[in-house]
Amino acid sequence: MAKGYIVARVSVSDPDAYMEYIRNASVAMKKYGATILAAGGRSEALEGDKRDRNVILEFESFDQAKTYFNSPEYQSARLHRAAPGVSVGEFVVIEGVDAAH
C-alpha cells in the first residue's frame, strides 16, 4: 500500500500563536501515526514563491493522512493556525508511489 503525505507551505505572522498550533498538532500527529520528514529547516525557492515554513508528514496511507487532517484533534489545533493574522499557507495530501511497483 502506498504511503500518504501531507505537505504544508506556511508563512507565519504570529510566531507565538503558531507555536500553540504546533504544540496541539503534535498531539494529533502522534495519535494518527504521523512521521515528520521535514519541518522548518533550510529551504530555497527554486521556482515560485517561498514560504517561511515547509513541512512534510508521512502516514501509513493517503486515507490515514486525510483522517488525521479531518480529525477533531487536528481541527482544534488548526484553529490556532488559521486565526486571522497568524499564518497563511497551502496544505495538500499526496498519495505516494506504491513500493510494489
More confidently predicted of 99 and 77: 77
Q: What is the tens place of the pLDDT at every residue in 35-49?
A: 999 998 899 999 999
**pTM of this prediction exceeds 0.85:** yes
For the four alpha carbons of 7, 24, 61 and 33, in that order, the dihedral sign comes to positive
The span from the CA of 95 to the CA of 49, in Å, is 24
Instruction: Report yes or no: 44 and 50 within 8 Å, Cβ to Cβ.
Output: yes
The pLDDT value given to residue 1: 86
Domains and CATH numbers, the chain: 4-95 (3.30.70.100)
Mean pLDDT value across residues 53-60: 97
